[in-house]
Structure 1
Amino acid sequence: MSARSNRQIVLKSRPLGIPRAEHFEIRAAPVPALQPGQFLVQNLFLSVDPAMRGWVNAAANYSEPVGLGEVMRAFAAGRVIASRHPEYPEGALVMGMLGWQEYAVSDGQAIRRRVTETDLPLSLSLGVLGLNGVTAYFALQELGEPRPGETVAVSTAAGAVGSIAGQLARLRGCRTVGIAGGADKCALCLSEFGYDAAIDYRQPDLPDALRQSCPDGIDVYFDNTAGLISDAVLPQINRHARIIVCGTASVASWDPWPQGPRVERHLLNKAARMAGFLIWDYEHRYEEAIAHLAPLVRSGELRFREEILDGLEAAPGSIADLYEGTNLGKRLIRLADR
């Protein structure tokens, strides 16, 4: 097994803001021989997520930065092809923090779950049935607490998390308003993800567009962007509104610290609640979310979009595109067929 070569994407230099292709390089390393309690995964799909920006920047956020020369931290899904671990036999499908590489040796610590939905594409374990779907499910349910008849607004509404959050809110009987960038993404919100209204945040008067699309105000705001979009949403919130801070995609860098309107008066005057969401707080309940989401995917009630790039070479430049708004759907890197 040690003769097998493993191509990996490693962090070459530290970006200031959005990581781009030049910050990474491809290297080859031998796959080490398995020790007792270990198994070898052939990665079939690699995930590309907005959170990767925070993982490679110098300032630590909720996790330590990836070190220079280290394999890029990433979720991946694949098949166990060799094993000395009784719980992970050859042929098992797994998803976990296995990195941007062709093969990963694990003792099970990096594995998030055994993928048992074999009737569905394995790629979904990195999207609607993975981190994105689970994030949307718990953030909306636990922090948003949407009630039938309420208005739920979602930023990056056509994205991998936002599109699921919007659909789950609609399935709960809410009126859903999606905020996205460009006519194509707004059309996708309406035609594929069932939003009641879609707003292009690039238009000249976003606050007025929000007022027109949310005539009864906003009860739940699923925030994936921060910045100017959220500044426009806050004056529209209702009494006892719930604001979920799930992402800050509009903030290119934390140095200098971003400035903007103060939120305290909005929250105080409306007795509203704003809370940050991290999926790591709900890892122990992962299967609860999958049990809810998988039947909705099978029935067609929960729709999804995937954007699949082929080959390890596509990985280095794939993060920047997320912040430039060129992708449509969950972005993945396909290394091999199942």
Structure 2
Amino acid sequence: MQSDNVTSSITLPASYRKWVVSGATGAPDLKKEHFRQVECEIPSLMDGEALIRVKMINVHSATRLRILRGMIATGQTDLNNYACAEVVSSRDPAFCVGDVIACQAGWQEYQVISSRDLPVGFAEPNNLVKALNGTHSPWVYVFRPAMVQMWPASTLMEIFGTSGMTAWFGLQQNGPMLTRDTVAVAATTGSVGSIVAQIAKAAGCRVVGFAGGAERCTWVTTTLGIDDCIDYTSPDLDKALRKVFPEGIDLFSDGVGGDLTERVTRLMNRHSRLFSYGSAASYYAPSIGSAPEVRPTMRQNFGITEEVERRLSERHIRSHVWTVDQFYHQRLQAEDALSQLLLSGQLKPNSHTVDGFEHLPAAITGMYRSRQPGKLQIAFK
């Protein structure tokens, strides 16, 4: 730990750049014109604060919905991005100058944080997480030095960030994975799904993914090394499902929701497991108007309809619908296990990194027009 009033030897600029939302609420689609760049002064620190330089952010799939539905107001930035940053000045004993940290950050080059800050958009963590992180947020902590030396920021953010942790804890909570298990993985080209598929394959399971189109299905099988991939745009999807899953499904990892959840759960075996963590069907709807409205419960938002609930109950299918912050007191164990998979070659990062702060509007809007596999990351050079 360092004492208060610690400053960096780096000469800081007088100002920094920040992107804010501009007149997007109610628009039919998100465009580059809905982002505006502003210049902000580097602030002075109060006791208990630290100044960070944001190195990279992960862009969440729900960003477009949140902007167009007014959840990020005009003139405001999005503070809900998982980020990798370096501490450049500190009056908070939880952070030392030079620390590389995980945090939540806006679309901005510099930001003031505090170990006392609560997470944006999430509940306050339990005491175990607070003790482990030394902060009041599951997303804010100092990366172990060995991790920083071994892995680039893109891997820290993808494999050891919320995507990798969701995949790891989701499978742990829905295990054990047996070599006789058939695992179906929706959103296999996505950040979580691509990791789930590789972990399940490393455990010896038969793994089948889903992707839109022959080219993306080929990417899934060749890049991720899994057994098969179903094109969910197929005109006869039900026939394809029956062919690929002749003995049913033992574990379904679902980050899509919507119609795909309804169809796939029909083939789930008795006493199988459903791990549901997202709703790509909503995030990537053709237009904001065609995206489902927010439902009363997380299960409904993730595509678990009354019919699916009935099916789960009748077949005694164990289902988990949650957000990963519930398990962050076990973060270090997950980091160690994921590191071993990376080092053994059984797990490969697949993020899509865009270099340059100035490219943020194009990167975010482009994510919904020509999706690249893996987590979209923006490196602030």
Normalising by structure 2, we get a TM-score of: 0.79
Mapped pair 1:128 → 2:135: no
Residue equivalent to 1:291: 336
Q: Gaps (5+ residues) in structure 2?
A: 1-10, 118-136, 286-290, 296-300
Amino acid at match of 1:68: T
Deviates more, 1:238-247 or 1:254-263: 254-263
Residue equivalent to 2:141: 113
The verdict on how the C-alpha distance between 1:334 and 1:146 changes in structure 2, with shifts beyond 3 A counting, is same
1:2-151 superposed matches below 5 A:
4-12=14-22, 13-15=24-26, 19-53=30-64, 55-56=66-67, 58=69, 65-73=71-79, 74-108=81-115, 109=117, 112-116=140-144, 117=147, 118-143=149-174, 145-151=176-182
Provide, for residues 140-194 of structure 1, a one-character-per-residue CA deviation record: whole Å limited to 9, x for no partner. Answer: 2113543331111011112111010011111222110000112232122211212
Is contact 1:8–1:28 with CA below 8 Å preserved after alignment? yes
Report which structure shows greater RCO (CA 8 Å, sep ≥6).
1
Residue equivalent to 2:379: 334
Pairwise CA distance, 1:139: 1.2
The verdict on how the C-alpha distance between 1:159 and 1:334 changes in structure 2, with shifts beyond 3 A counting, is same
The verdict on how the C-alpha distance between 1:247 and 1:18 changes in structure 2, with shifts beyond 3 A counting, is farther
CA distance in 1, matches of 2:95, 2:294: 46
Paired residue secondary structure (2:106): coil
1:156-235 superposed matches below 5 A:
156-235=187-266
Runs of 4+ in 1 over 6 A off after TM superposition: 256-261
Is contact 2:155–2:349 with CA below 8 Å preserved after alignment? no
Is contact 1:156–1:181 with CA below 8 Å preserved after alignment? no
Pairwise CA distance, 1:310: 1.8
CA distance in 1, matches of 2:26, 2:342: 37
Is contact 2:55–2:379 with CA below 8 Å preserved after alignment? yes
The verdict on how the C-alpha distance between 1:237 and 1:320 changes in structure 2, with shifts beyond 3 A counting, is farther
CA distance in 1, matches of 2:74, 2:167: 31
Q: Gaps (5+ residues) in structure 1?
A: 60-64
CA distance in 1, matches of 2:52, 2:343: 27
CA distance in 1, matches of 2:370, 2:204: 29
Amino acid at match of 1:287: L
Pairwise CA distance, 1:316: 2.4
What do you get for the CA RMSD once the two structures are aligned? 2.5
CA distance in 2, matches of 1:47, 1:256: 23
Is contact 1:94–1:115 with CA below 8 Å preserved after alignment? yes
Pairwise CA distance, 1:15: 5.0
The verdict on how the C-alpha distance between 1:138 and 1:89 changes in structure 2, with shifts beyond 3 A counting, is same
Residue equivalent to 1:316: 361
Pairwise CA distance, 1:294: 1.6
Pairwise CA distance, 1:54: 5.3
* More helix by percentage: 2
Provide, for residues 251-285 of structure 1, a one-character-per-residue CA deviation record: whole Å limited to 9, x for no partner. Answer: 24333869978213422332223331211222322
Pairwise CA distance, 1:58: 4.0
CA distance in 2, matches of 1:168, 1:87: 33
The verdict on how the C-alpha distance between 1:208 and 1:148 changes in structure 2, with shifts beyond 3 A counting, is same
Amino acid at match of 1:99: G
Paired residue secondary structure (1:136): helix
Is contact 2:85–2:103 with CA below 8 Å preserved after alignment? no
Deviates more, 1:141-150 or 1:202-211: 141-150
How many pairs align?
331
CA distance in 2, matches of 1:274, 1:227: 16
Percent of residue pairs identical: 31
